[in-house]
Structure 1
Amino acid sequence: MRTLLFALAAVLACAAPAAAADGAKLFALQCKSCHGAKSTPMGPTLSGVFGAKIAGRSDYAYSKGLKAKTGTWSAENLDAYLAKPAGFAPGTRMLTAVPDAASRAALVDYVRTLK
């Protein structure tokens, strides 16, 4: 039993980097055109966004919907926003949703690594 628990812990410890790597691939395909290394009129950079205040970057003009949100970009908030952007922040300019939960989780894991 103890061996099984250690094996499970090892698998879980390795899962986050794998998910982040998958998220990097998804990000390159789906997000990078609007979210680059620097903020542009198309979208804010996502470097350092994890844990930061929602709509808190000073180098991007956020929609009223996002400006009205309180809190930080937690895993839960990022997941909700990616699942249904307009449902999370009515009036948001981000129109592309990520309907697949596993893809959203991988993207959130990747965004968490951006510093």
Structure 2
Amino acid sequence: MSEYMPEFLPKEVLEGLELARKRDSKRRSRLRVRTELGVYPILKLWDEGFTVARDNADQLRGLVGIYDGARHLYQALIVASHDDGFTMSFDFKRSTATTDRPALDYDQNEDAPVALLPHH
């Protein structure tokens, strides 16, 4: 459970508070995790992993994409790490930042052309 929820509240009240918190987080966040099966809102993202709603967690495993809106941030290999009953946390086994250009794995000349013009 979250640290801000007192333990003396009835279970139904705690569940209602957690549902309201999740709804609010989903509205604010543009972060998403994408798999072959679908796209799921990320409630919290940190350097070593992320958290999603528990009801979305059954479909998540293996290689996924992490997006901020339409922008692809990372390609990651994930593993489930913590289930608190409301949310599920996943750790990155591997996370690779995406770029908008191909990797340069060779020595490029300083005077190499930036672009080529077509012949007309």
Is TM more than 0.5 here? no
Q: Comparing both structures, which one devotes a greater share of its residues to helix?
A: 1
Scaled by the length of structure 1, what TM-score is found? 0.31
Q: Which has the larger radius of gyration?
A: 2
Q: Comparing both structures, which one devotes a greater share of its residues to strand?
A: 2
Larger RCO: Structure 1 or Structure 2 (Cα < 8 Å, ≥ 6 residues apart)?
A: 1
